[in-house]
Amino acid sequence: MATLMDVARAAGVSKATASRALQRPELVAEATRERVRDAAERLGFRPNAAARALTTGRTGLIGLIVPTLSNPFFAPLVMGAQRAAEETHSHLLLAVSEYDPAREAALADRLSEQADGLIMVTPVGSDTALRERFRARPLVLVDRQVGRLPAVVADTASGLAELLGHLLELGHREIAYVSGPAGSWADRQRCAVLTEQAAAAGARLRVRGPLPPTFDAGIAVAGSIPAQATAVLAYNSYLALGLLHGLGVAGRRVPEDVSLAAADDLSTLSATTPPVTALDVPLEEAGALAVTRLLDLLAGRRRTVATHLPARPVLRASTAPPRGGAAGIRA
Amino acid sequence: MATLMDVARAAGVSKATASRALQRPELVAEATRERVRDAAERLGFRPNAAARALTTGRTGLIGLIVPTLSNPFFAPLVMGAQRAAEETHSHLLLAVSEYDPAREAALADRLSEQADGLIMVTPVGSDTALRERFRARPLVLVDRQVGRLPAVVADTASGLAELLGHLLELGHREIAYVSGPAGSWADRQRCAVLTEQAAAAGARLRVRGPLPPTFDAGIAVAGSIPAQATAVLAYNSYLALGLLHGLGVAGRRVPEDVSLAAADDLSTLSATTPPVTALDVPLEEAGALAVTRLLDLLAGRRRTVATHLPARPVLRASTAPPRGGAAGIRA
DNA sequence: TTGTAAGCGTTATCAT
DNA sequence: ATGATAACGCTTACAA
């Protein structure tokens, strides 16, 4: 591997000048700059990241911890983060915690040694641990709020409220909510919001789950959706897909017999038969924004504590007024 | 941040001894070792990765480039790789190429600066570029074979052949294959294998696609499955899920009217109605093995060139003999 | 505009 | 068993 010294020698300048020619070209005379660049090119010079990190104190690495990649929720998030990192010439150090707080802590510790800062998607695990971690190193939370720690939160809660509002408006009063994933912060938020709103509207909300976000689970739970329910709300779109199929197999047509909606829009439910009403959650933006926030933090810019990204319902053909009741209410 | 020097001072020893006490405890007297460890603990000493990398020439980082994370095929792969890396105290530097060779090349270049070696999942892009890259840095290919370069390949081809064999054995002679993703190396392999085998067996194979691996695409293509086809083979299980639903909506029952099978088993097709015959592809193993192979390479152990991981068909209720023809053939 | 030289925090090579 | 000391390759005052 050619070092900067080699380049400098080849270009007939000092290490310092070579470094400047490459990193801060404006500080170097045109001619010298070109000579150095040529030499670097010719020798196939690649700066040694470790050496640079050692002097500058910056690795250019961002640690990202997600609970899993099986849940399709996290893929767009990671992709968004990666793209944003790429644009700022950083790299992503990815780790998967498998929803295990101990493992997550270990990973965070180890990543901290290599990364300039951490982005954590940590639906389980304690607030105080996160607070403490934040003190040690720049940290941005995703989809979770802990005090005033910097966070990027997809505002599913209020979007979900709109979605439920839509069902209520259509006239539904017997609604099944399929919840999950088990133990997650966001799940608790969603359940709380929905329960309260349904109660306020005098509707009955039955909660099923918590379930994993899979097609299979949707099929399985389809059988236990009470006959009275005129609408089903699933927290995830794979679940909704499974429900769509499972309800069909069970002889309940969507939306004639029962309405169906999903609290995310991961699998583009727009092309199903019928297309499914869903919440559009800006996951890629969330990932990208988390990176931006972290870089701001690293640059000493301390901005707002938590950013909420709006999630908006996309109304499609799978939601309609219930068989009997609606007309009276709407008239 | 406490440095090794601080620890050494606190323990009343030299830097060298402190380093040894922590890295190679067996070289240090019990008492000293304990003193150093205590000091390190007390000061919250975290070794500086950059400094270590500078002296040892090892960063402990493994670059992993995947084309996307939207295709659920890659999630298990990444998870497998991450777990294996974690076990060997390495970390994963993740980048997404978006199937863009230019971007992939740029990412690979940049990752090479930080990582000890690279794992690339690169269905598109040129062989020669990969060969050249391999010369520059340790590299392991996944799901692609280029000459004698180290690679881990999920042997979908032969598993797929078994799967088609199963359909042929059941008596199917009019088979639709839904292919994809567009332009991928594995897609070409699959198409080639299937076309040849079908021809040899005197069966007709109609290829649809290439299509993306999504539920929607499956629904959309369901309409264009020819009426004569008694069996449909999809290269991906989300596609199969979509087909299952789409065929149902179109009034064709599985497996009575048409058999259905998938060339991977990502979404546990075991729980659908009916359960879908699929190919079990060991993706996590592939990811983990790629890491192992790379570490071997780094350690100077040069082993077999390409490892094939067997993919095995899992026969379920979605495949059955065709309506009329089968009996005669089997009798 | 360019060069000199001092680190950055480890590990590794010698001595002792 | 331990300690000095020299790398590792780069950036950055400071000097010229």
Residue with tokens 């399929």: A178
Question: Are β-strands A139-142 and A91-96 bridged in parallel, bridged antiparallel, or unpaired?
Answer: unpaired
Comparing every residue's Cα with the C1' atom of nucleotide D5, the nearest one is: B16
Q: How confident is the model at residue A124 (pLDDT cuts 50, 70, 90)?
A: confident
More confident residue, B115 or B268: B115
Q: Tell me the per-residue pLDDT of B147-172, one tens digit each, with 9 for 90 and over.
A: 999 999 988 888 989 999 999 999 99
3-state DSSP percent of chain A in helix, strand and coil, to 5: 45, 15, 35
Question: Tell me, in Å, how far CA of A270 is from C1' of C14?
Answer: 71
Q: Tell me the per-residue pLDDT of A92-116, one tens digit each, with 9 for 90 and over.
A: 999 999 999 999 999 999 999 999 9
Contact call for residues A196 and A205 (beta carbons, < 8 A) = no
Q: Which residues contact B196 (CB under 8 A, 6 or more apart)?
A: none
Cβ contact, residue pair A82, B94, below 8 Å: yes
Q: Edge-to-edge strand order for the sheet containing B277-280?
A: B204-208, B174-178, B231-234, B259-262, B277-280, B312-314
Contact call for residues B167 and B320 (beta carbons, < 8 A) = no
Residue A149: name the closest of A160, A158, A139, A159 by CA.
A139
Peptide bond connecting B274 to the previous residue in cis, omega within 30 degrees of 0: yes
Whether CB of A52 is under 7 Å from strand C: the answer is: no
Q: Which residues of B spanning 71-90 put their CB closer than 7 angstroms to strand C?
A: none
Strands (E), chain B: 61-66, 91-96, 117-120, 139-142, 151-155, 174-178, 204-208, 231-234, 259-262, 277-280, 306-310, 312-314
Measure CA B111 to chain center. 19
More confident residue, B264 or A165: A165
Residue B73: name the closest of B218, B180, B209 by CA.
B180
Half-sphere exposure of B292 (CA within 13 A, CB side): 14
Q: What is the average per-residue pLDDT within B217-231?
A: 92
Q: How confident is the model at residue B328 (pLDDT cuts 50, 70, 90)?
A: very low
Contact call for residues B201 and B251 (beta carbons, < 8 A) = no
Has residue A186 got a pLDDT over 90?
no
pLDDT of A296: 93
Among B114, B118, B247, pick the best mutation site for testing chain A contact (most A Cβ within 10 A). B114
Return the exposure string of A238-266: e unless at least 16 CB atoms fall within 10 Å of the residue's CB, then b. Answer: bbbbbbbbbbbeeebebbeebbbbbbbbb
Question: Tell me, in Å, how far CA of B9 is from C1' of D3?
Answer: 13
Mean pLDDT of chain A, nearest integer: 91
Task: Name the token pair of B109.
Answer: 């270049």
Question: Tell me, in Å, how far CA of A14 is from C1' of C4?
Answer: 9
CA nearest to B54 within chain A: A50
State the nearest Cα–Cα gap between A164 and chain B, in angstroms. Answer: 25
Residue with tokens 């659908």: B272
Cβ contact, residue pair B114, A61, below 8 Å: yes
CA nearest to A246 within chain B: B273
Question: Residue B129 — left, alpha, or beta (φ > 0 → left; ψ -120 to 50 → alpha)?
Answer: alpha
Comparing every residue's Cα with the C1' atom of nucleotide D12, the nearest one is: A16
Residue A174: name the closest of A127, A229, A220 by CA.
A229
Task: Name the token pair of B74.
Answer: 């890659």
Q: What is the average per-residue pLDDT within A105-129?
A: 93
pLDDT of B296: 93
Q: Please give the share of chain B, as a percent, with pLDDT higher than 90.
A: 74
Contact call for residues B262 and B276 (beta carbons, < 8 A) = yes
Task: Name the token pair of B43.
Answer: 């000061």
Q: Which residues of B touch A93 (CB under 8 A)?
A: 61, 91-94
Q: Which residues of B touch A271 (CB under 8 A)?
A: 215-217, 219-220
Comparing every residue's Cα with the C1' atom of nucleotide C13, the nearest one is: B16
More confident residue, A184 or A229: A229
| B113, B271, B273 member nearest A49 (Cβ) | B113
DSSP-based three-state secondary structure for A58:
coil
Task: Name the token pair of B79.
Answer: 């998870």
CA nearest to A66 within chain B: B79
Separation of alpha carbons A294 and A119, rounded Å:
7
- In this structure, what DSSP letter does residue A277 have? E
Q: How confident is the model at residue A330 (pLDDT cuts 50, 70, 90)?
A: very low
More confident residue, A305 or A46: A46
Q: Please give the share of chain A, as a percent, with pLDDT higher than 90.
A: 74
Cross-strand partners of A139: A118
State the nearest Cα–Cα gap between A327 and chain B, in angstroms. Answer: 29
Q: How confident is the model at residue B231 (pLDDT cuts 50, 70, 90)?
A: very high
Has residue A325 got a pLDDT over 70?
no
More confident residue, B178 or B328: B178
B55, closest nucleotide (Cα–C1'): D8
Contact call for residues A146 and A131 (beta carbons, < 8 A) = yes
Has residue A328 got a pLDDT over 70?
no
Inter-chain CB pairs, A–B, below 8 Å: 155
CA nearest to A268 within chain B: B216
Question: Tell me, in Å, how far CA of A17 is from C1' of D15?
Answer: 15
pLDDT of A298: 92
Q: What is the average per-residue pLDDT within B26-41?
A: 93
Cβ contact, residue pair B271, A219, below 8 Å: yes
Q: Tell me the per-residue pLDDT of A26-61, one tens digit each, with 9 for 90 and over.
A: 999 999 999 999 999 999 999 999 999 999 999 999
Nucleotides of C under 7 A from a protein CB: 1-13
Has residue B286 got a pLDDT over 90?
yes
Q: Which residues contact A300 (CB under 8 A, 6 or more apart)?
A: none
The secondary structure element, H or E, covering residue A204 is: strand A204-208
pLDDT of A269: 67
pLDDT of B90: 96
DSSP-based three-state secondary structure for B8:
helix
From the number of C-beta atoms within 10 Å of its C-beta (0-12, 13-18, 19+), residue A117 rates as buried
Question: Tell me, in Å, how far CA of A164 is from C1' of C8?
Answer: 57
Task: Name the token pair of B207.
Answer: 């290829």
Has residue B327 got a pLDDT over 70?
no
Residue with tokens 């060969």: B131
More confident residue, A157 or B280: B280
Give the Cβ contact number of residue A138 at 10 Å.
Answer: 20
CA nearest to B219 within chain A: A272
Give the Cβ contact number of residue A228 at 10 Å.
Answer: 11
A1, closest nucleotide (Cα–C1'): D9
Nucleotides of D under 7 A from a protein CB: 1-13
Cβ contact, residue pair B83, A60, below 8 Å: no
Residue A232: name the closest of A246, A248, A243 by CA.
A243
Residue B121: name the closest of B254, B294, B299, B330 by CA.
B294
Q: Tell me the per-residue pLDDT of B238-283, one tens digit each, with 9 for 90 and over.
A: 899 889 888 988 889 989 999 999 998 776 666 777 889 999 999 9
pLDDT of A209: 77
Q: Tell me the per-residue pLDDT of A233-251, one tens digit each, with 9 for 90 and over.
A: 999 988 998 898 889 888 8
Among A22, A43, A77, A82, pick the best mutation site for testing chain B contact (most B Cβ within 10 A). A82
pLDDT of B269: 66
